[in-house]
Amino acid sequence: MQKYSFAQLLRQALRGNKGWQPAWRNATPRGGYDVVVIGGGGHGLATAYFLAKKHGARRIALLERNWIGSGNSGRNTQVLRSNYFWPESVALYDHSLQLYETLGREVNFNVMQRQQGLLQIAHSEHELELMRRWCNSIRMSGLEVEELTPAQIKRRVPPINLNCRFPIVGGYVQQRGGIARHDAVVWGLARAADALGVDIIQGCTVTALHKSGERITGMTTNLGPIAADKVVMSVAGHSSQLAAMAGFRLPITTMALQAMVSEPIKPVFDLTMISAAIHAYCNQSDRGEIVMGAGADVYNSYAQRTSLPSMRATVAAVLELFPGFSRLKLMRQWAGAVDISPDTSPIMGLTPVRNLYINCGWGTGGFKAIPAGGDTMAYTVAHDRPHPLIVPFGLDRFARAALVDEGAAAGVAH
Amino acid sequence: MLRIACPYCGTRDEPEFTYGGPAHISRPPLESDDGSWTDYLFNRTNPKGLLAERWCHSYGCGRWFNATRDTVTHEIVSVYGATEPQP
């Protein structure tokens, strides 16, 4: 791997930038692999990377139907945070945030993470009380959050309208929350995985899984058959289809999560803001665009496209908070096919099929969990038992009714 | 924006309706094992293609009905009564 550094930049500039190598090889499938990861989003790439890096696995393939990062990894709003309610969730998501803090150095690729803070606001006394309970829970899990008065919120976010239709009565900030550049995360992980020998195979669609007894032996793809000793499925909104190929059903509903950005403006606020009550969140990207989201279409959908009712609801909520944005034009809008689980917590670990491992159910908040998803899944595959951090998130929790209900506890999750 | 043909009121815009998820899911007998109950409570077919689903015309007649809709194109193929079998 060509190391990216200031010296390298200088060297290449003096040679007319003719010496840059592709960041990863465009591999074609060999006949068989020790591990095949299906799905070339952040989670799949991180799984392949950590398998090669930490567990010394060789002969790893990563199959992606389109191009890497073309699904939800390229469609999210790049929010990082770990302010969940349940200790199980905080442990997993904060492991991820810690890995993000060093990811750029780890993969030698600037992932442009910026921990400028994550602000959650409340619009009623009742919501504020629940928010304090939530803060206490986070503190008991060992993380720092700071409660803010409306005046303190106004100081942190000057353009906010505290006296909106449902006036803002308080909030709290997780200072380590923030954003990272989603494409950089995908590309950085792909480059680092490729350097460790992972075959990244794009344009490769799995059309059937071959089973012998309770094991998967390989798969049919549009690029020919591929044999595999172990298979990881990391395909988000399409998990139900792949599980059906393997012969089991999942508690997953696929929906279209909507997001949009405005035209770029000068810096007006630096942290990510979330309002669960009026259902909107926004931040300002490094390019100056206001990134907005929250609403998903209410019905099952695999259509990765926008819809007017969700857009209208999100824009109306953001304009209540920031009336000054009403003159801005929307520049782009899009949607991702997200995999919603019954308790809005991920489903990770073992499956009814012996050598098939699952990582799905991240729903509306998978981006922030990419490094932890990869790290824990790599451990799970290498040791054939769930990583301690993901034991509570197994597919078996539904039969035991041992849900990790973040949807009810922490509200909107992104 | 979906335009949904309520069987009682005619075609209206999506925001008038409430979604009720997949239709035709029936409760297993009380003596069923945990596997059947888990499947009933949590597991969903989640098809990429035609899905029979329940809708309620909340801001109209307030009545429930079923529709068959494509989850990729969002085209509504048929609309039928809440207690009728899937066409």
CB–CB contacts below 8 A, A to B: 61
**What is the Cα–Cα distance from B49 to A252, expressed in whole angstroms?**
15
Q: pLDDT at residue B19 above 80?
A: yes
- Tell which phi-psi region holds residue B35, choosing left (phi > 0), alpha (psi between -120 and 50) or beta: alpha
Within an 8 Å CB–CB cutoff, is residue A353 touching chain B? no
Cβ-defined contact of B53 to A308 (cutoff 8 Å): no
Q: Which of A349, A354, A355, A348 is nearest to A35 (CA)?
A: A355
- The amino acid sitting at A277 is A
Q: In what order do the strands lie in the sheet with A146-148?
A: A146-148, A170-174, A118-122, A272-275, A280-284, A290-300, A253-262, A330-340
Give burial (CB, 10 Å; 0-12/13-18/19+) of A45. buried
Confirm or reject contact between A325 and chain B (CB < 8 A): no
* pLDDT one-digit tens code per residue, A307-317: 999 999 999 99
Share of chain B above pLDDT 90, in %: 98
**pLDDT, tens only, A154-197:** 999 999 999 999 999 999 999 999 999 999 999 999 999 999 99
Cβ neighbours of A397 in B, within 8 Å:
none
pLDDT digits (tens, 9 = 90+) for A20-33: 999 999 999 999 99
pLDDT above 70 (res A412): no
Structure tokens at A388: 């301690």
| CA A314 – CA A269 distance, rounded (Å) | 19
Residue A131 clears pLDDT 50, i.e. is over it: yes
On whether the CB atoms of residues A290 and A284 are closer than 8 A, the answer is: yes
Type of residue at B57:
H
Find the mean pLDDT for residues A256-272.
95
* Concatenated DSSP letters of A356-395: EEEEE--TT--GGGHHHHHHHHHHHHHHTS--GGGGGG-G
Distance CA A120, CA A153 (A): 10
Q: Cα separation of A414 and B2, whole Å? A: 25
Residue A294 has pLDDT above 90, yes or no: no
**CB burial of residue A124 (10 Å; 0-12, 13-18, 19+):** middle
* pLDDT over threshold 70, residue A414: no
DSSP H/E element including A273: strand A272-275
**How large is the average pLDDT for residues A305-332?**
94
Is the CB of A351 inside 8 Å of chain B's CB atoms?
no
Residues of B with CB under 8 A from a CB of A: 1-2, 14-15, 18-19, 21-22, 34-35, 38-39, 41-48, 51, 53, 69, 71-74
Q: Which residues pair with A227 in a beta bridge?
A: A32, A218
Q: Which residues contact A388 (CB under 8 A, 6 or more apart)?
A: none
Q: Confidence band (pLDDT; 50, 70, 90) for A1?
A: confident
Mean pLDDT of A356-364: 96
What is the per-residue pLDDT for A28? Answer: 95
The whole-chain average pLDDT of chain A stands at 95
pLDDT at A279: 87
Query: How confident is the model over B54-86, as pLDDT tens digits?
Result: 999 999 999 999 999 999 999 999 999 999 999
Model confidence band, residue A411 (pLDDT cutoffs 50, 70, 90): low
Q: Dig out the tokens for A137 from the structure.
A: 């829970």
Query: Do the beta carbons of residue A131 and residue A122 sit within 8 Å?
Result: yes
Q: Please name the member of B41, B43, B74 whose beta carbon is closest to the beta carbon of A303.
A: B74
Percent with pLDDT over 90 in chain A = 94
Chain B contact for A300, CB < 8 A? yes
Q: What are phi and psi of A62, to 5 degrees?
A: -120, 120
Give residue-wise pLDDT tens across range A46-96: 999 999 999 999 999 999 999 999 999 999 999 999 999 999 999 999 999
Q: What is the DSSP string of A2-59?
A: PPPSHHHHHHHHHTTT--PPPSS------SEEEEEEE--SHHHHHHHHHHHHHS---S
